[in-house]
Structure 1
């Protein structure tokens, strides 16, 4: 008989520093957006991290290089473009894992309409980021938050209305790393590595995404309400068949004076056409793969406060609490959660984030069984 063990809560203390010039993309600028040649902005960042793992035996602490980012942004009266390439140190040498995050070109149809094509962020949920955290929430592990695929994205925006309609025929592809099929920035469906138990071999294609958001205000309250949907084909390469992925979400973003709250709820249903493993699918990114439940509800909540005081050295001080989860609809007691209390602030050109990660059934906190999968023992 199959027994489900309760998962221990795993925690990780993270202190990360981001060395930049004011913002991650600032740097050398040439020209002006209104000139005939436009403006090119060349920038980037070098990031390091300090991690203290008090669940390790014995507990461990380490300061290390995180990544280096090269960023190019172009803007003229009618054309826009962006490129983002990142180098990591996973196996002892800088650059032993690296990949494109963005590589796209766009056209401004008019001040309210534009279209971009190439490797670009998928418009789903609250925005590219669903909160202020460095590590992001469970939705990132699901392949829904901060996803970048290859396709076309139409955007309409006014003061009150935002609409995005996008089509991505393929994911972002593979670059440099050691894994079979997870050598990329975004979390995508992959051919699982050999260490993944009962891994699947699928690829997501023909992704159709729509997102709408309405913004308004009432006295000191500014808010945004919206919804997004995602439909795609899932090619199962082991069985030469095609399934589907259907996802929807509703969300809200509230700003009241110095307070901010972000709320999102959604549902995912994946038919992976896998006879042996219909209840999970293998995902991967950052040169690492794992299994995830195919059907469930997910949520993301964050509360933050921008301290309205100016200090001599520290600026933009924002403490926050981010809570997210993925609720498995087919198997109880295997739900995944991630809780991140943290704080972000600037000291001149140095931006620092300190976070405490608390997770259950979280692949990126050491659970080898996967997302909303649980720890199974016969």
Structure 2
């Protein structure tokens, strides 16, 4: 009897022991999954051992009871036999439906769900208010409130296969932002194929504001192209290497009607003498067979201080649909320092288009808009941000920032491009709102061009309101 009580107490101790702390299935990391697998195996083994010991103890006790009963009476009625058989079976049935067994089953279900999470659908709806001092009609009206975009995001995993995609609809165009499938080779290594992000400079962005930095407008920030990429991540290092066959629209002869209808800027042509800065290019070109690499070293000092330093590079051909007509290259060095609620970001970038023909710059396009950039230039960025948690009704965080971009050493000698964005981002549940005061010269979307020769700055006040789901 004592042995049976001890085994029952052992099972009870396992049942009442603190549960392993796990997250929702869609949030489990590979390390946590491995721990769950190990725990399931140990629990299953222990359950089987305890069940067998409990069954053996029960049988032994019943035999002892039967021997005692035989000493008193020489026969057992059918009813007594039936009761004895029920007693022998009941402990095993109880063990099979015990909380411990249910817990094992639940752990198995959680692991299966984590490995085969359904495709998740999210997105955003955004609108914005714009006031421009360089647009007389807009200024006289007191600014304009416009629809910005609707976007749909898809993401999910099936085993080690990963999916991520995003599509955007604007008033004037629609475009894919990214669309790739990946495979997790290990906890640190992942491969991606499709329209995937070009590894370059600070990630995910070289900016805090709605307008990115000037790097975005020359194709060196948040750019996505069609190719394959291999990523490595651990606590100390980030490493990316990628090959891109062409841009996200299939290159110069891709099956699209409007090559400038895209999310991020790419080179779309050569600006020949006599063409306006915003004209459709006479000579169309596109990126082809490009390589990119990025490496970053990360340091963590305590729970509230970190630093990252990294270098990046790109190299590839420019093709006119028939043959290569030039080459392009770019490099960058960046640093990010965070302490408490402060973040400081800095980057220097340089790019060069070495074309075979005389030109007045490179035609780039995005957002249904053509612009011209110098065929060579150097860019500097310096950003600062402060994050302030608050509890003002639905408002939970305010992020104050100032982003500064300077583009200089332009081939052709045009005036420098300068952009400064003083702003604040407000988090309130699913709402995320940018308040940006932009002061710039020779900057697209602030009344200029990257190849402009303006001496005076222009001002744009912008409020972008987005609901993210």
Q: TM-score, normalised by structure 1?
A: 0.82
Retained in 1: the 8 A contact 2:116–2:159? no
Q: Which runs of 5+ in 2 are unaligned?
A: 1-108, 456-469
Alignment of 1:186 with 2:264, yes or no, is yes
Say if 1:179 and 1:321 are closer, same or farther in 2 by CA, change over 3 A. Answer: farther
Partner of 1:232: 316
Say if 1:255 and 1:169 are closer, same or farther in 2 by CA, change over 3 A. Answer: same
The structure that has the greater radius of gyration is: 2
Alignment of 1:145 with 2:214, yes or no, is no
Secondary structure at the residue paired with 2:209? coil
Q: Report deviation, 1:358.
A: 1.4
User: In 2, Cα distance between the equivalents of 1:300 and 1:33?
Assistant: 44
Deviations 1:56-78 (A, max 9, x none): 22414111110000111012330
User: In 2, Cα distance between the equivalents of 1:127 and 1:354?
Assistant: 22
Q: Report deviation, 1:197.
A: 5.3
Q: After superposition, where does 1:110-259 map in structure 2 within 5 Å? A: 110-173=186-249, 180-191=258-269, 196=278, 199=281, 200-219=283-302, 220-236=304-320, 240-259=323-342
Q: After superposition, where does 1:367-378 map in structure 2 within 5 Å? A: 367=448, 370-374=449-453
Partner of 1:84: 166
Secondary structure at the residue paired with 1:306? strand
Q: Which residue of 30, 38, 41 corresponds with 2:117?
A: 38
Retained in 2: the 8 A contact 1:192–1:290? no
Alignment of 1:288 with 2:369, yes or no, is yes
Secondary structure at the residue paired with 1:141? helix
Q: Which runs of 5+ in 1 are unaligned?
A: 1-30, 91-96
User: In 1, Cα distance between the equivalents of 2:298 and 2:135?
Assistant: 45
User: In 2, Cα distance between the equivalents of 1:101 and 1:32?
Assistant: 32
RMSD of equivalent CA atoms: 2.6
User: In 1, Cα distance between the equivalents of 2:287 and 2:419?
Assistant: 25
Alignment of 1:306 with 2:383, yes or no, is no
Q: Report deviation, 1:215.
A: 0.6
**Greater RCO structure (CA 8 Å; 6+ sep):** 1
Retained in 2: the 8 A contact 1:190–1:284? yes
Deviations 1:40-70 (A, max 9, x none): 2111111111111133224141111100001
User: In 2, Cα distance between the equivalents of 1:50 and 1:33?
Assistant: 46
User: In 1, Cα distance between the equivalents of 2:446 and 2:210?
Assistant: 14
Q: After superposition, where does 1:350-369 map in structure 2 within 5 Å? A: 350-367=431-448
Greater percentage in helix: 2
Deviations 1:71-94 (A, max 9, x none): 11012330101111111102xxxx
Q: Report deviation, 1:308.
A: 4.1
Say if 1:269 and 1:67 are closer, same or farther in 2 by CA, change over 3 A. Answer: same
Secondary structure at the residue paired with 2:215? helix
Q: TM-score, normalised by structure 2?
A: 0.67
Deviations 1:144-178 (A, max 9, x none): 10101100010000001000001101101079xx9
Say if 1:88 and 1:33 are closer, same or farther in 2 by CA, change over 3 A. Answer: farther
Retained in 2: the 8 A contact 1:236–1:243? no
User: In 1, Cα distance between the equivalents of 2:209 and 2:344?
Assistant: 13
